[in-house]
Structure 1
Amino acid sequence: MVKYQDETLDRTFAALSDPTRRALLARLGETDSLSVSELAQPFAMSLPAIMKHLDVLTDAGLVAREKTGRTVACRLTARPMEQAMNWLNHYAQFWSANLDRLAAFVEEDPWPTAPQPQPTLPNDRASRSRAVSAPGRKKSTPRGPTRKT
Structure 2
Amino acid sequence: MSGNNEKRDVFDAIADPTRRRLIRLLAEAEEIPLYELTTQFEMGRTAVSKHLNILKEAGLVLDRKVGRETRFKLNTTPLKEIQDWVAFYSRFWSANMLHLKQLLEEEEEA
TM-score, normalization by structure 2: 0.76
Structure 1: distance between partners of 2:62 and 2:32: 11
Aligned residue in 2 for 1:141: none
Is 2:6 the counterpart of 1:43?
no
- Map 1:1-149 to 2 at 5 A: 11-97=9-95, 99-100=96-97, 103=100
Q: Which moved more, 1:18-27 or 1:87-96?
A: 87-96
Question: Which aligned segments of 4 or more residues in structure 1 are displaced greater than 4 angstroms?
Answer: 100-107
Structure 2: distance between partners of 1:105 and 1:26: 37
Q: Which has the higher contact order (CA 8 A, sep 6+)?
A: 2
How far the C-alpha of 1:57 sits from its partner, in A, is 0.6
Q: Which structure 2 residue ranges, 5 or more long, are not aligned?
A: 1-5
Q: What letter is aligned with 2:19?
A: R
Tell me how large the CA RMSD over aligned residues is. 2.6
Q: Which of structures 1 and 2 has the bigger CA Rg?
A: 1
Q: How many residues align?
A: 102
* Aligned-partner SS, 2:65: strand
How far the C-alpha of 1:100 sits from its partner, in A, is 4.9
Structure number with the higher helix fraction is: 2
Structure 2: distance between partners of 1:86 and 1:95: 15
Structure 2: distance between partners of 1:43 and 1:63: 18
Inter-CA distance 19–68: structure 2 relative to 1 (3 Å threshold): same
